[in-house]
Structure 1
């Protein structure tokens, strides 16, 4: 997979992500580094390989069904979310993987391209504290080809997320 990006399309999801990042106070220089890669990067391993970074630097945007409500968990690509731990943390009776249809309805984006922002309505969001270990992290930009750099503090700020141990 090449690390050379192609022209960033004016895909509505990518445009919306850029707009929400800037409106949320993200550093314009980082937002300007949003890239659309030549190949899809639907997994943390694929994104890390394409970018030449550690898999732990990838912020996976995972949508869960928490008692029928969407819950966005931004987790380090280096580990898996402990859904029992997350359920206990948020006071839900159950937290489970959402269906592709549930994810699309909640985010307007497809699995593998879900960004931390740019959804039709704000989502309750947890941000994995493990991401704070890296000075730069990368997240999806609204489509499976798009990624952007950010920081832990910026990610918490632009999402209104709650820093949480999720693994």
Structure 2
């Protein structure tokens, strides 16, 4: 795989937070610091020379009961080749209806900006769903806390590190 290394962002606070969590799980992943921002699964896949399906796309949703109570965050790690079915996920989890979280909610709940949301290292614990279709790949890539940084991992490691629930998300 030929990826030109971009500027080193390992010292970025969000990337450092992700690396610390990964290290706590005994992982020292291959991190790629890309020269350009990769805010979409398609852009990340192009930069890495892989298919979008091999990207563990971190999407934040809000389970919003609509009764005045604060929405509850849900992190969905979806194959980058999929469009998430929020109704199906809400039904599977037996939770309030889901809506896409606002950029402000994403930042408040995770500490990451959209495009750099990592599966681990959020500011507060997030209930997490992991797309079962990611299991078909030996390696998947996820955001590492910055829109220029990604790391290699596996489906099984994503489940373990996030305490995620395997779900068919489409």
TM range (shorter): over 0.9
After superposition, the C-alpha distances for 1:95-125 in whole angstroms (9 at most, x for unaligned) are 1101000000000001111000111122100
Give the aligned partner of residue 14 of structure 2: 13
Per the alignment, in what secondary structure is the counterpart of residue 99 of structure 2? strand
Give the aligned partner of residue 48 of structure 2: 51
Give the aligned partner of residue 127 of structure 2: 124
Give the aligned partner of residue 36 of structure 1: 33
TM-score (norm 1): 0.94
Give the aligned partner of residue 82 of structure 2: 79
**8 Å CA contact retained: 1:127, 1:161:** yes
Unaligned runs of 5+ in 1: none
Tell me the number of residue pairs that the alignment of Structure 1 and Structure 2 aligns.
Answer: 162
Off by >6 Å, runs of 4+ in structure 1: none
Unaligned runs of 5+ in 2: 65-70
RMSD of aligned alpha carbons: 1.1
Question: 2:21 and 2:166 mapped to 1: Cα distance?
Answer: 20
TM-score (norm 2): 0.92
1:141 aligned to 2:138? no
Aligned residue runs from structure 1 range 103-122, under 5 A: 103-122=106-125
Measured after TM superposition, the shift of residue 132 of structure 1 is 0.3
